[in-house]
Amino acid sequence: MNASVHQLQDDPHVGRYERSTGQSTEWWRVTLSDRPQMYRIEHGRGDAPANIDTVVDLENLKSKLQKWHREGFLRPGAEEAPVAVEGRNGFLEDLRRTASAATPPVSPSQSDDAHVAIGAVEIPLGHAGAPVPRMNPAYLFPERFADILQDIVENRRVMLIGHTGAGKTSLIEQVAARSQHGVLRANMNGQTTIGDFVGFWTVKGGETLWVDGVLPAAMREGLWLVVDEIDFAEPSILAVLTAVLEPHGHLLLKEKGNERVAPHPSFRLFATANAVGAMSVYRHLYQGANLMNEAFLDRWRVYLMDYLSPQEEAEVLMRTLGARITQPMANTLAAIAADCRAAFARDDLASAFSTRRLLDWAELMLRSGDPERAAGPAIYAKVSAEDAALIRSIIRHHIAFDE
């Protein structure tokens, strides 16, 4: 009892969170559960008894706290706590007050009320049957993805920039897999022509037919379109894209007598890039990438995606490989990947080290029982001899080989 009272005072999450809703006050109460490391959360209105009473772990609690914060729940008294600040400091105070009060998450116009929660963000469900990507149950959604998820709900145009294999495309696909939205992808690095993108006329059985490209197809059918490696796109494709970058922007099919294509409410547009904006310093690694002008970038929310942290990556290894790998093994492999990336950032290595590469190496060494042999096809053969030598020495630093 004493111990729990003591903890109760120390634990920053414990307390009552309230917002006023017209006549009464709606509240959440967080207390320590009898079970270690767990929290009891209760919900109610006014003086009525709690109508929700449940026990969650810390991770779950944290996402709930964020959600409540967004929904305008505040801890009474918590506002007075900071010492009065003046001048430019007042801005942040105002912002926190308005931001927590003013943002009911804007849902798109689907009215079926069916949602799936990813962390604290509720994503509206799409209609299955479309090309919904396959779900990867091992996929990890760190808390920092919440802004991206909320942008998807609010129908913002999201561009993810980062090194190859950081998880840009898979993030979109895994959100879509969980929320049952079909995804079309168009890769701008080589294959996609303006005809593939917008559409073209063709003759079939003596008849002239219009075939929609991926953009009008996604807009009409309410699919999510991922424009991969947008920094390689031709100007004609960028020009067409610009028209639909506004959330409700229409597409004009000039080739088809100026037909206007309206976006389905479920349509979402994403782009990925390696060397744009904050990633421009790495342009030498992505030969042929174009600089994108600021006016174009300003039409997107641009998120810099870094690789997962070693802890997160170890968790992904454990989730992906299950009982075949132990936590210390996963930690070691994640530390090797982190060291290789640090070497890359110092310019000691010319090749990036993706999560995909790490997973593949781990899979292969589980088959052969030999990390060095597995590193051949998974790593060494893909990089220069100098890089292979350095990566080998990093691996040997972490794994003691029997000679």
Which residues of this protein are in contact with Mg ion, per CB under 5 A?
A: 169
CB of 127 to ligand ADP, least distance (A): 24
Q: Considering CB distances under 5 to 8 angstroms, the limit depending on partner class, which of Mg ion, ligand ADP, none binds residue 140?
A: ligand ADP
CB of 187 to Mg ion, least distance (A): 8
Give the interface with ligand ADP as residue ranges (CB under 6 A). 138-140, 162, 164-170, 272, 308, 316, 354-356, 359
User: Can you count the helices (H) and strands (E) in the chain?
Assistant: 14, 15
User: For residues 210 and 282, which CB has a smaller minimum distance to ligand ADP in the complex?
Assistant: 282
Please state whether 77 falls in left (phi above 0), alpha (psi between -120 and 50) or beta.
Answer: left
CB of 237 to ligand ADP, least distance (A): 19
Cβ within 8 Å of residue 137, ≥6 positions away? 319
**How many other β-carbons are positioned within 10 Å of the β-carbon of residue 296?**
16
H or E element at residue 27 = strand 24-32
User: For residues 62 and 356, which CB has a smaller minimum distance to ligand ADP in the complex?
Assistant: 356
Residue with the CB atom nearest ligand ADP in the bound state: 167
CB of 272 to ligand ADP, least distance (A): 6
CB of 145 to ligand ADP, least distance (A): 8
User: For residues 67 and 341, which CB has a smaller minimum distance to Mg ion in the complex?
Assistant: 341
Q: Considering CB distances under 5 to 8 angstroms, the limit depending on partner class, which of Mg ion, ligand ADP, none binds residue 158?
A: none
Alpha-carbon span 7 to 221, nearest angstrom? 53
Q: Identify the CA nearest to 234 among candidates 290, 299, 273, 303.
A: 290
Q: Considering CB distances under 5 to 8 angstroms, the limit depending on partner class, which of ligand ADP, Mg ion, none binds residue 371?
A: none
User: For residues 169 and 179, which CB has a smaller minimum distance to Mg ion in the complex?
Assistant: 169
Burial degree of 317 (CB within 10 A; 0-12, 13-18, 19+): buried
Q: Considering CB distances under 5 to 8 angstroms, the limit depending on partner class, which of Mg ion, ligand ADP, none binds residue 226?
A: none
**How many other β-carbons are positioned within 10 Å of the β-carbon of residue 86?**
6
| Residue for token pair 């509240």 | 27
